[in-house]
Amino acid sequence: MRRLLPFIIFIIYCIPCIYLSMRKDFEDDSKVNYIIMAIVTVALSCISGLIRADLSLILGNIFSFSTSYFYNALRLPDSKWEKYFTPFNSVEQIILISLGGLVLQVIIYTLARKRAKRYIRNAMISK
């Protein structure tokens, strides 16, 4: 179980959330997937902080960004795709969303790590 949860977190992170959100936004003019993406990544970073799954968090973000970038590159020949995302193009938007999400995840991860350390310290004192 100790290794299973970080692996599950990594697998969930491997989903190209940014690309899927952008595609849904392009097809249906819906921003809902961006909100779902933010909630899921915040929850995963909080869980990663509590169980100290650093590697899952780092590798998952790298893989998610890479796959989103790859799938976006497949859509680049479509001129409607490029013109839809203004004032930034789709590549810039992927980078900005990734960096913004990463900053948010680092903050949540750090807060969760502090909370976990405090819980462990209090548990050790009470024994």
Residues 49-97 have pLDDT tens digits of: 888 888 999 999 999 999 999 999 998 888 888 788 778 888 899 999 9
More confident residue, 98 or 125: 98
Q: Measured between alpha carbons, how far is 82 from 89 in angstroms, rounded to an integer?
A: 6
The answer, yes or no, to whether residue 123 has pLDDT greater than 80, is no
Return the pLDDT at 127.
63
Q: Give the side-chain half-sphere CA count within 13 A for 19.
A: 18
Q: Give me the DSSP letters along 46-113.
A: HHHHHHT-HHHHHHHHHHHHHHHHHHHHHHTT-HHHHHHS-SS-HHHHHHHHHHHHHHHHHHHHHHHH
Into how many domains does the chain fold? 1
Q: Which domain range does residue 16 map to?
A: 4-126
1 pLDDT more than 70: no
pLDDT tens readout for residues 7-66: 999 999 888 989 999 999 888 888 888 899 999 999 999 999 888 888 999 999 999 999
pTM: 0.83
What is the predicted pLDDT for the residue at 87?
83
Whether the CB-CB separation of 40 and 60 falls below 8 Å is answered with no
